[in-house]
A and B are shown apart, each in its own frame.
Chain A
């Protein structure tokens, strides 16, 4: 009985350690290939379009409504303390330092990350990655590196876009609907948001972009057998990315603030 439990424990530990080792090896290889030529510039631009440009609509939609919710909620909370004049500060700081980077990363995970995992996973199970290996080419250079580079580069832009659109969403809810003074709303933003808040948001987005794309590429690259393997890899990629975004957000906050 005792031996059985120990064997089970040992086997689980070994499996987890092996998975961790595989992940570390993958990250090391991908980051190494980012700096070792030949760099696939065309693929990077293509993926910047896929991850970035094609996420604009969803970022605009979620940004608008996140900002409107912030405007609405903020107004009601601040009114209790007679401080509705601080609405602009509240909305902008929340978006620039927190919601912009976090929500945009979550949206990119859901829209582009899941698609990338599924695509690489299908390439794995249909032996397209093996075909590259047989051609004496490293598949990571074609399927992982362009995504990781593109994702890291476009995430700060999407985060910034989310924040700016969100601030306008807050304007619609707070100023146009609830009647806060327009000058107070925008004047407050200029007073309180300093460069460090903006750069902190950018740093966060850079980290989220790197981590999300590494996770999504890794899961696709090591997808299991068949349709079930790809579906499991895709689900895991989205869940792990979402959890890591929030954990990393906390860690980065403690470092940056």
Chain B
């Protein structure tokens, strides 16, 4: 049996900002149906890598292939079609503050599809229910708590049934119970909507519960990519220090 082709393949990604190297040759395969967690210290380049995977940031060199198509070379309709395969949950949610929760969720459907008002309303109700926000349709983002805002943003990202979901630190700024709830939500919605997920996270070891594989980004390069068990058993002192959160070791707090 031939192994499945990767859904996303990053090849030799290099990126620098104002002379500072952020990514130095990242090669990464994301397999269909998996939940890949990208962990690493703050400033390791995790969010930049994620933004490169969806084309919000252009690499200085290297390529991102989505189902074999080069994302960064695609233009116009081709780029649109590739992007439509993605959904993304931003760090702060990135909900449109001038729109209600229901209008936020309906926005991509109204703008990108020819569905009727009735059909869109049905989808909105369904996805809001799946993230536990039923009855919150008329609330505005400013009226929601941090966790609810993340849920609403997840509902919006899921509305068009993306094949790939990118999560940029989905649990930053939330209490431990809410962190676990969001992790559970990612696992549940992944089961339900069958998407492939890339989750950038600081939550160690919490993220291991939902990840199929864990990739650690360190100083702009991938240090280790393994299943959560193998990752936790890694002999690499940097990985071990990071998991344990120790001050002593090769990593220095800066």
Binding site for B on A (CB under 8 A): 123, 126-128, 130-131, 133-137
B84 and A136 contact, CB distance less than 8 A? yes
Residues of the A chain whose Cβ atoms lie less than 8 Å from the Cβ of B51: 130
Query: A126 vs B168: C-alpha distance in the bound complex, in angstroms?
Result: 13
Does B127 count as interface, using CB distance less than 8 angstroms? no
Binding site for A on B (CB under 8 A): 51, 54-56, 79-81, 83-84, 86-88, 90-92, 94-97, 107-108, 111-112, 156, 160
A136 and B94 contact, CB distance less than 8 A? no
Asked if A127 meets B83 with Cβ closer than 8 Å, knowing A134-B54, A135-B108, the reply is no
Query: A75 vs B160: C-alpha distance in the bound complex, in angstroms?
Result: 68
A134 and B112 contact, CB distance less than 8 A? no
A-B contact count (CB 8 A): 44
A137 and B94 contact, CB distance less than 8 A? no
Asked if A127 meets B92 with Cβ closer than 8 Å, knowing A135-B108, A135-B112, the reply is yes
Asked if A128 meets B108 with Cβ closer than 8 Å, knowing A134-B54, A134-B86, the reply is no
A130 and B90 contact, CB distance less than 8 A? yes
B80 and A127 contact, CB distance less than 8 A? no
Residues of the A chain whose Cβ atoms lie less than 8 Å from the Cβ of B91: 127
In the complex, besides A131-B96, A136-B83, 10 extra interface pairs with C-beta distance below 8 angstroms are A127-B90, A127-B91, A127-B94, A128-B95, A134-B54, A134-B83, A134-B86, A134-B87, A135-B83, A136-B80
A130 and B56 contact, CB distance less than 8 A? yes
Residues of the B chain whose Cβ atoms lie less than 8 Å from the Cβ of A131: 88, 90, 94, 96, 156
A128 and B94 contact, CB distance less than 8 A? yes
Query: A143 vs B79: C-alpha distance in the bound complex, in angstroms?
Result: 21
Residues of the A chain whose Cβ atoms lie less than 8 Å from the Cβ of B112: 135-137
Shortest Cβ distance from A38 into B: residue: B111
Residues of the A chain whose Cβ atoms lie less than 8 Å from the Cβ of B97: 128
- The 6 A-B residue pairs with the shortest CB-CB distance, nearest first, are A136-B83, A131-B94, A127-B94, A136-B80, A135-B108, A127-B90
A133 and B56 contact, CB distance less than 8 A? yes
A137 and B92 contact, CB distance less than 8 A? no
Task: Write the nearest CB–CB distance from B22 to chain A, whole angstroms.
Answer: 15
The contact sample of 24 A-B pairs, CB cut-off 8 A, is A123-B96, A126-B92, A127-B90, A127-B92, A127-B94, A130-B56, A130-B90, A131-B90, A131-B94, A131-B156, A133-B55, A133-B56, A133-B83, A134-B56, A134-B83, A134-B86, A134-B87, A135-B83, A135-B108, A135-B112, A135-B160, A136-B79, A136-B112, A137-B108
Query: A56 vs B244: C-alpha distance in the bound complex, in angstroms?
Result: 62
Shortest Cβ distance from B55 into A: residue: A133
Task: Write the nearest CB–CB distance from A156 to chain B, whole angstroms.
Answer: 27
